[in-house]
Amino acid sequence: MESFDLLRQIGAGPSFREALCNMIGASQMFGDFDWHDIEMLSSYMQAYDADKGMVLFREGEAGDFLCLIIEGKVDIFKEDVQRKEKNVATVGPGKTLGEMAIIDGEPRSASAIVAEQAILTLLTKANFERIVREKPALATKILLKISRLLSQRLRRTSGLLVDHLE
């Protein structure tokens, strides 16, 4: 069973679509997309409610969705050399996690656990692949956003790592 199968879907259908668009449009990742692109993207995403303590995914698992946090917080954990989980980040509203999973198909690089009651929107790998086929211009915009985000994270991590080198 997929992790997101344990989430409770909130809202569905045309009556919820505007609310979903507003959620997506308020995010850092997609906030500068025009409304038409947000509407297109919303037809490929769903919103869910997640309880505190819920594991969204574990390090090493196959990854198959990107998660956009609308409300609440999610803790990110990474195993150290002694296989002890260490909290490396807390991600809050407007931020995304799991972006690499819809791109590279590699196992999850960290674990994500809901730190406080959250509302999330998910873009599954299957739906992203549909966007690539059906809406290539939108897929290109999403890929550029993910590329920039990953580049920023790599630069920040490289900056932190240099302080630990001898």
pLDDT the model gives residue 115:
97
pLDDT, one tens digit per residue, over 41-54 is 999 999 999 999 99
CA distances from 6 to 2, 48, 50, 97, 151 (A): 7, 10, 9, 18, 31
- CB atoms inside a 10 Å sphere around CB 49: 18
pLDDT the model gives residue 137:
96
Angle at 109 between CA 160 and CA 59, to 5 degrees: 125
pLDDT the model gives residue 158:
67
Helix 14-25, helix 35-42: angle, nearest 10: 120
pLDDT the model gives residue 104:
86
pLDDT the model gives residue 68:
93
pLDDT the model gives residue 1:
39
Domains of the chain: 3-156 (2.60.120.10)
pLDDT the model gives residue 8:
86
Name the band, by pLDDT with cuts 50, 70 and 90, for residue 90: very high
pLDDT, one tens digit per residue, over 100-146 is 888 888 899 999 999 999 999 999 999 999 999 999 999 999 999 98
Summary mean pLDDT of the chain: 88
Cα 143 to the center of its chain, rounded Å:
13
Least confident of 68-72, 123-127, 162-166: 162-166
pLDDT the model gives residue 146:
87
